[in-house]
Amino acid sequence: MNSEMQRRFTGVILIFLSFLLSSSVAWSQGGYRNTEFDKLNIGPGGPAPKRDLGGSWVGPIAIDTNAVPPALTPLGQKLLSENKPEPQFHIAGTNDNYARVCDPLGFPRHMVFELRGIAFATMPDRILVLNQYQRAWREIWMDGRELPKDVGGTAKDAPDPRYYGYSVGRWEDDNTLVVETTGLDDKTWLTRLGYPHSMDAHVRERYTRPDHNDLHLTITVDDPKIYTKPFVLGEINFKWKPDQQLAEQLCIPSEMLQYLDLIGDPAGKGVPPTK
């Protein structure tokens, strides 16, 4: 086997292993375990600094199958029925554009999946949230502005929807940051299980830092077009790790297409959906 063939084969196998680890089988055996997060044995580390999330944090690999959404509206039921999530339809049958061609996960999905590395950087008028996975980042504006109106509307100056939406934040107290996000591109899903959202979905993040080394996040979704009431999408605990170096953890379209062509699609032909 020449070096080029070996490199290609190695890349495809790595993609295959990545999807194997994110499959429903892995979850059925007790859920993900994350070496860095689970073995980071540190105490509280003293009081939390006031109004400061700055630095790097480690969390779980994923909690994106934990949410139990409420009843869906008729529109929500229709949209959900059109989605074919990978855990049920397998990689060959899914229409999840992230799983097929590495489209952006979007918000809030990227905040319930692959959280092994996340960092916050403070600027004079905003806080940047930096996710290791897919090297995704977004801005939380802290200058008192309102969320944009008429996102996706027909007016000439109506803002376009975004994969990661528009976010504004405020400090509720010295240790709690509340972030509101809307204007989400409705092509994305809330989780890998195919739960939809509308462009008008309103997502609230509540970051609480009870001490120096711990951070707790609760994510709540309010989307009356799709769900009959607001619900908690996820609750995540992070540990502070100031010397963490964020890895280049990317889903690469060219490698994904190689995997689908050589392994994923041939192996999935004729495989019925799981219940």
User: What pLDDT is recorded for position 15?
Assistant: 47
Q: Please write the tens of the pLDDT for every residue from 42-78.
A: 899 999 999 999 999 999 999 999 999 999 999 999 9
In angstroms, the CA 262 to CA 1 distance is 17
For 192-239, the pLDDT digits (tens) are 999 999 999 999 999 999 999 999 999 999 999 999 999 999 999 999
Average pLDDT, the chain: 89
By mean pLDDT, which of 16-20, 33-37, 141-145 is the weakest? 16-20
Phi and psi angles of residue 157, each rounded to the nearest 5 degrees, phi first? -100, 15
d(CA 123, CA 134): 22
Residues 210/216, Cβ–Cβ less than 8 Å: yes
Give the torsion through C-alpha atoms of 141, 67, 18, 265, to 10 deg.
Answer: -110
pTM greater than the 0.85 cutoff: yes
